[in-house]
Structure 1
Amino acid sequence: MPQLPLQTLSRQAFAPFGEVIMLEGARHYPINQGTTERFHALAMADTQTQDGKTILSVFRAQPRALPLAIEVMECHPLGSQAFVPLTSDKDDEYLVVVAPPGEFAADQMQAFICKGLQGVNYARGVWHHPLIALHKQSDFIVMDRIGEGFNCDEIALDGSWTVG
């Protein structure tokens, strides 16, 4: 059974799949008479297709046990999709499994371990596994597209690939 190695999430390693949303290394400056620090343009939403709008939601994920069989992947052809954990604990973890856009290729999947202070923004069309929380129930702010057109393609896998 093939197993995906877990990589540490970094901007460089994740670049082929989208953007990492984190404060470390971000452009920032004081605003509001110095009472607030703005971490500017951490990611760009790609949702402005015809009849599309950007929305914010909260997803509550139940923890999953490892190793985890990869049985489904999905992609959003009409817009990006961002996940930002609602935690202040850098030790909270979740997993991201991705594959390049286009025709799905299981042998091109990659898996990343994400810390609680990191979010991800999947680029339009990037294949990804549904949310994988670890250790505890976890809430995420999700930014994605709503509107006309079908924006979620899913592919069922045989579960022969595992992560963790």
Structure 2
Amino acid sequence: MASGRPIHATSLSNHLIPVTNLSPDGFAPFGQVIQNPATHNDLPGLEHVTANQGTATKWLDVTDMTSHYEMSRSQRQARVAVNMFVCQPRKLEERSDGRRIFNVEILERHPFTPQTFVPLGVSKSDEKTCYLIVVAPTLPSRSWDESSERQPPYPTPPSPKRMRSLKELLLGTRPNPFTNNYAPSTTPPPTKTSSALKPKGPGPPDLANLKAFIARGDQAVTYGPGTWHAPMVVLGEKPIEFVVVQHANSVASEDCQEFEIKSDDVVAVDVSSGIMAAESAKAKL
């Protein structure tokens, strides 16, 4: 979570968000879904090789973890951070019509890094424990609340590229003896980068177009850099342990920003239909 004073949302009418099952196509504007391609038909284009003396299938580059901290104002170098979050189940609002509602009170983003959540110990067939993902598009920067005391760290242009020395140019033509760069990279040649894998810019979240997804225990998720999202929401009867991987440079406003939704607005997720859909999807696996 970010430190400092949160940014307040502008006025918004009451908004009830429907829930859908998490899928790579549906989540594509916001990041990437990581799941076993052998048991799903919605991860086209992934390459794979045989590994571990023929006992394993290795799927290559299942998610993108590129750091974009060269765009940050401080220009402070980031490191890879691997943390664990033990997330307790959230309490839901029970409405008179039988709907179970999760009220969204705050969103956050990590402007310069993807963030991957990998759940531990939850079976895909567990119908009593799952997790909820809430994300929002980013509005143009002109929509930013200029009265806020906390301004975003954008935009800072990348530093000019340094000219490579003759030694570096020569070493670049053959395997470097001080590294393990003797085998071809498993990373495929770069193609057109998805907008979800690029930083989103300084704007606030588009609260009118929030999306919500139910994820099973066999699905991990990567939020694209700068994607507005709710803190992790576990649903069901038991906590979920997540291994979380991201970059961080220890500058609070560059590592994480929060956006507080005003108390007189109601932005809520209708969890009931999503849980029913998730249980139906599990039954088909």
TM above 0.5: yes
How does the TM-score come out when normalised to structure 2? 0.54
Worse-matched range after superposition: 9-18 or 147-156 = 147-156
Picking from 30, 33, 43, the partner of 2:53 is: 33
Q: Tell me, in whole angstroms, the C-alpha distance in 2 between the residues paired with 1:22 and 1:154.
A: 29
Q: CA deviation at 1:81?
A: 0.6
Q: Decide which structure has greater strand share.
A: 1
Deviations 1:20-77 (Å, cap 9, x if unpaired)?
A: 0111345433202112222321101122524012221111000012321100000111
Q: Tell me, in whole angstroms, the C-alpha distance in 2 between the residues paired with 1:16 and 1:3.
A: 20
Picking from 54, 68, 74, the partner of 2:80 is: 54
Match of 2:134 in 1: 97
Picking from 230, 240, 245, the partner of 1:143 is: 245
Structure 2: give runs of 5+ residues left out of the alignment: 1-13, 38-42, 71-76, 93-100, 139-202, 272-285
Deviations 1:88-145 (Å, cap 9, x if unpaired)?
A: 5003410000011332111011000011111110011110000001111000110111
Tell me how many residue pairs correspond in the alignment. 164
Q: Tell me, in whole angstroms, the C-alpha distance in 2 between the residues paired with 1:68 and 1:6.
A: 11
Which structure has more relative contact order (CA 8 Å, sep 6+)? It is 2
Q: Which has the greater radius of gyration?
A: 2
The sequence identity of aligned pairs, in percent, is: 34
Letter in 1 for 2:79: K
Structure 1: give runs of 5+ residues left out of the alignment: none
Match of 1:12 in 2: 25
How does the TM-score come out when normalised to structure 1? 0.92
Report whether the alignment pairs 1:42 with 2:62: yes
Q: Tell me, in whole angstroms, the C-alpha distance in 1 between the residues paired with 2:115 and 2:18.
A: 24
Q: Tell me, in whole angstroms, the C-alpha distance in 2 between the residues paired with 1:146 and 1:56.
A: 10
